[in-house]
A and B are shown apart, each in its own frame.
Chain A
Amino acid sequence: MRRYLADRAFAALGLVGLLAALAALAALLLDVILDGAPRLSWQFLTSYPSRFAASAGILPAILGTFYVIVLTGVMAVPVGVAAAVYLEEYGAQGRLGRVIEINIANLAGVPSIVYGLLGLGLFVRALALGRSVVAGAATLALLVLPVVILATREALRAVPKSLREGSYALGATQWQTTQHQVLPAALPGILTGVILALSRAIGETAPLIIVGAVAYVRFVPDSLWSPFTVLPIQIFNWVSRPQAGFAENAAAGIIVLLVMLVLMNGAAILIRDRFQRRRIA
């Protein structure tokens, strides 16, 4: 009966594996909270960076993150949703459609740092946008575009076929069907996907470093063309310094970043749940 013993041992091992992942997550969170919580204060949230760890804050980083992400959404969402509607509703037939699909799948796997190089070569240099908010947001928009497209397609696929057929039976055209039936029905799913895509963009560091967000910004960005920093880059800058005070600042910054992510993901889950309840009712 040794094989039954092996069977049970393996089940236990699987559970241990998952618990190890949980332990790693707990260690990460505990480490960050223990290091950073003492530094969290109103002063930290509303101050500018400083040479002195104790008086430094993340105001420009928070506002920079906010501006960049809003702008990223404004650029990526309409195009991403339109692309998904084309691929899903209009059925990209033939070779070209196939090529576009494979291409989007591949783009989703390109390392984010390569998007940074694209942003540097295209937006910062060729289009001469400089190291600005708009260049950073455009770079992130290209980065999240495949994610928005894939999420929207999934939401569109979940809309029952009968809805479309009913609309066609009443004489609606394809766009009328899409605009008045399919998109409203898919909206909660699309919103969830968009929020998750943007919450991924919030944590992105590497592409914005390449595009040239600077870590030491002593002002709040006041236009699309002003230099900027974002929270992850501020954290990176502080982690890279040897003094312990800056490590605490980094940990406190991480707590703020994680709270933002939890709020966004919470919103996404809320939307999904409300939608599911409405469907059952």
Chain B
Amino acid sequence: MTRSFLERVIERALFLSAALSIIVTAGIIAVLLTETVAFLSEIPIMEFLFGTVWTPLFADQHFGVLPLVTGTIVVSAIAMCVALPGGLLVAIYLAEYARPGVRRALKPILEILAGVPTVVYGYFALLFVTPLLQRFIPDLAGFNALGPGIVMGIMILPLVSSLSEDALGSVPNGLREGAFALGATRLQTSLLVVVPAAFSGISAAAILAVSRAIGETMIVAIAAGQQPRLTANPLVPIETMTAYIVQVSMGDTPAGTLEYRTIFAVGMLLFLATFALNLFSNWLRERFREEYV
């Protein structure tokens, strides 16, 4: 009797540990929501979402979040221009071309790139990549979207390549053999048969990469500047949503003020965007799994 009682107690305890993850999610939503609601009670939501000037820390306060959003989009778009083609190319090479020995030798490079702390990438973007780019683009400011965007792309490339490689790897060999039997080369097989068959898995990887780029903080906080401005020009200083949150946190903004609440409102926006992208990515991956099982 006592034994089965103990069993049940332990099962409860284990269940509670697993259920803690739901409490964490609820906690994130609760914290963001309370401060955001308090913020929106003072600033109309339309002004927040569609205003084009963001100056909460100046005497002349404006709370239009669009400059932070465009800053985030510009940097993320540059990162995607590096990470998506690069990651897919590497994935196709590793999955369809490389011999096992070459794979074993080269894959650790990607793992190391994925493990470098983002503050290190920030240093690299500010003090190596931007000065290097300035030799070719004299107009490039010391803080800009281009350098950190490229570095962010390098950082995200391993994520794209490893998820895409998994997707390519789960395409049944029968499809490849069929294409080879029809006389297709390896390239024709890869691009016309395997990649289309793995398309939803690859899209899932791409969407997850976008989500990662939007949420990335230190690279842009260090190298992109602190000037929220509504522009698509990658050569001038800008500010992203994440970098703004860091900027406020580095200062002494007292709790309960409107300035303090801005970081939660911006954080809410960030959370909703990444959450939606992650859900979409998961859904795509699930669908892909069903196709071939």
Of B19, B22, B120, which one neighbours A257 at CB under 8 angstroms? B120
Those of B111-136 within 8 Å (CB) of chain A: 112-113, 115-124, 126-128
Which chain B residues lie closer than 8 Å to A100 at the CB level? Answer: 18-19, 21-22
Interface size class of B (residues with CB under 8 A): 35 or more
Q: Is the CB of A203 within 8 A of B118?
A: yes
Q: Is the CB of B215 within 8 A of A111?
A: yes
CA distance A90 to B17 in the complex (A): 13
Q: Scan A1-38; emit 1 where CB is below 8 A from any B CB, else 0.
A: 00110110011011101101110110110011001000
A239 near B: Cβ within 8 Å? yes
Of A17, A78, A116, which one neighbours B90 at CB under 8 angstroms? A17
CA distance A28 to B109 in the complex (A): 13
The residue in chain B whose Cβ has the minimal distance to the Cβ of A24 is B154
Q: Is the CB of B20 within 8 A of A79?
A: yes
Q: Is the CB of B31 within 8 A of A122?
A: yes
Binds A, one of B46-54, B63-71, B227-235, B262-270: B262-270
B221 near A: Cβ within 8 Å? yes
Binds A, one of B91-99, B168-176, B194-202: B91-99
Which chain A residues lie closer than 8 Å to B118 at the CB level? Answer: 203, 205-206
Q: Is the CB of A114 within 8 A of B271?
A: yes
Which chain A residues lie closer than 8 Å to B106 at the CB level? Answer: 18, 22
Of B10, B109, B279, which one neighbours A21 at CB under 8 angstroms? B109
CA distance A92 to B242 in the complex (A): 36
A23 to chain B, nearest CB (A): 10
Which chain A residues lie closer than 8 Å to B20 at the CB level? Answer: 79, 83, 145
Of B92, B217, B246, B264, which one neighbours A111 at CB under 8 angstroms? B217
Of A24, A82, A107, which one neighbours B17 at CB under 8 angstroms? A82
A111-B215, A239-B122, A257-B117 given as contacts; is B245 within 8 A of A117 (CB)?
Answer: yes
Q: Is the CB of A106 within 8 A of B25?
A: yes
Of A82, A118, A142, A209, which one neighbours B249 at CB under 8 angstroms? A209
A86 near B: Cβ within 8 Å? yes
Residue pairs across A and B with Cβ atoms less than 8 A apart, 26 shown, are A7-B186, A10-B97, A14-B89, A18-B94, A18-B109, A21-B113, A22-B109, A27-B124, A82-B18, A100-B22, A109-B211, A109-B281, A111-B215, A111-B216, A116-B249, A117-B31, A117-B245, A121-B35, A145-B20, A146-B21, A175-B7, A203-B115, A209-B250, A232-B119, A239-B126, A261-B117
Interface residues of A (CB under 8 A from B): 3-4, 6-7, 10-11, 13-15, 17-18, 20-22, 24-25, 27-28, 31-32, 35, 78-80, 82-83, 85-87, 90, 92, 99-100, 102-107, 109-118, 120-122, 125-126, 142, 145-146, 149, 173-175, 199-200, 202-206, 209-210, 212, 232, 235-236, 239-240, 247, 250-251, 254, 257-258, 261, 265
Interface residues of B (CB under 8 A from A): 3-4, 6-7, 10-11, 13-15, 17-22, 24-25, 27-28, 31-32, 34-35, 86, 89-90, 92-94, 97-98, 106, 109-110, 112-113, 115-124, 126-128, 154, 157, 185-188, 190, 208, 211-212, 214-218, 221-222, 242, 245-246, 249-250, 255, 263-264, 267, 270-271, 274-275, 278-279, 281-282
